[in-house]
Amino acid sequence: MYTLLSIFLVVSIFPFYWMFIGATNDSSKMFTNPPTLLPGDQFMTNLTNLNESIGIFRVLFNSLFVSGLYVVIALAVCASAAYVLAKYNFKGKKFIFTAFLLSMMIPYQATLIPLFQMMSDFNLLNTYFAVIAPQLCFPFAIFLLRQNFLAFPTELMESARLDGASETRIFISIVIPSMRPALAAASIFLFMTQWNNFMWPLVVLNTNDMYTFPVALSSLMGLSYIDYGQVMMGVTLATVPIIAFFLTLQKQFISGMLGSALK
């Protein structure tokens, strides 16, 4: 078992190692035979060239700002919607939830034109708001959180109501703290979705100083020449925040998965 796990570990980690090797070597060494498997001395050179090409620190700020703000707002919106759909009974509840699920079947590309027209009518093109707003109500996150809210004991909410707690306080002070593992899992998913989002930012952003990582990295792929040292450096820098975000919430994420299994 440990031998098989070790093999899978090497296979899983090797692409990240190859990415780092490419970031520290000259572009010409990417296709040598035998391949270069040791770090080189071109790390700072590739970083400097990358910064001159796309303004790496501005791009990093754009991606972190957009993804971080998106996670906070989207988590608040999705958690509120999931809580209402899970714990309140009202006319049309099943229809609304079914509509959320069916919306997941609509190809994302089919929404680009109407969304672009909407942002253009409101003069919001090339803004952070235009990148963040269209996906704040994320159906999968609502579905994920709703399933966890269903497992929360309704008796606790009723006891809080008898003690005079308002619905807002019940949600914020009683329900949300017990849902931290589920919120962590949803946060990871939302962060990765926004961080890796390429199509919509490419459509709605039109200046280099507003580009996020996926859009900025795509501009490095020239028609006649590609500096793979720069590309690998950019991909490395784009991967680090995702890994750091996951490791930060790893404990909550794992406990959330185990808790769901036990329930």
CB 148 within 8 A of CB 260: yes
CA angle 153, 251, 145 (to 5 degrees): 40
Q: How far apart are CA 220 and CA 50, in angstroms?
A: 9
Q: State the sign of the Cα–Cα–Cα–Cα dihedral 7, 12, 13, 19.
A: positive
- 20-35: average pLDDT: 84
Please determine, for residue 215, whether its predicted confidence score (pLDDT) is greater than 90. yes
4 inside domain:
no
Q: No. of H helices and E strands in the chain?
A: 15, 0
User: Which residues in 143-245 belong to E strands, given as ranges?
Assistant: none
Tell me if 212 is assigned to some domain: yes
Distance CA 31, CA 39 (A): 15
Whether residue 260 is predicted with pLDDT greater than 50 in this model: the reply is no
Please indicate, yes or no, if residue 39 is contained in any of the structural domains.
Answer: no
Q: Name the region of 26 (left: φ>0; alpha: ψ -120 to 50; beta: rest).
A: beta
Average pLDDT, the chain: 89
64 belongs to a structural domain: no
Q: What percent of the chain has pLDDT over 70?
A: 95
Give tens-digit pLDDT for 226-244.
Answer: 888 889 999 999 999 988 8
User: CB atoms < 10 A from the CB of 64, how many?
Assistant: 15
Instruction: Indicate the pLDDT class of residue 223, thresholds 50, 70 and 90.
Output: low
- Split into its structural domains, the chain has a count of 1
Is there a domain that residue 9 lies in?
no
Q: Which of 39-53, 218-232, 245-259 has the highest mean pLDDT?
A: 39-53
Amino acid 263: pLDDT: 46
Residue 2 lies in a domain: no
Could you read off the pLDDT of 84-135 as tens digits, one per residue?
Answer: 999 999 898 889 989 888 888 888 888 899 999 999 999 999 999 999 999 8
- Mean pLDDT, to the nearest integer, of 134-138? 90
Q: What is the pLDDT of residue 262?
A: 44
CA distances from 42 to 205, 234, 247 (A): 32, 14, 28
pLDDT of residue 86: 92
pTM: 0.86
Q: Is residue 204 part of a domain?
A: yes
Summarised one tens digit per residue, pLDDT across range 164-182 is 989 999 999 999 988 888 8
CATH number of the CATH domain containing 155: 1.10.3720.10
pLDDT tens per residue across span 46-94? 999 899 989 999 999 999 999 999 999 999 999 999 999 999 998 988 8
In a domain, 10, yes or no: no
Cα(65)–Cα(63) distance, integer angstroms? 6
Structural domain for 80, as ranges: 76-262
Q: How far is CA 69 from CA 129, 139, 150, 220, in A?
A: 10, 18, 27, 27
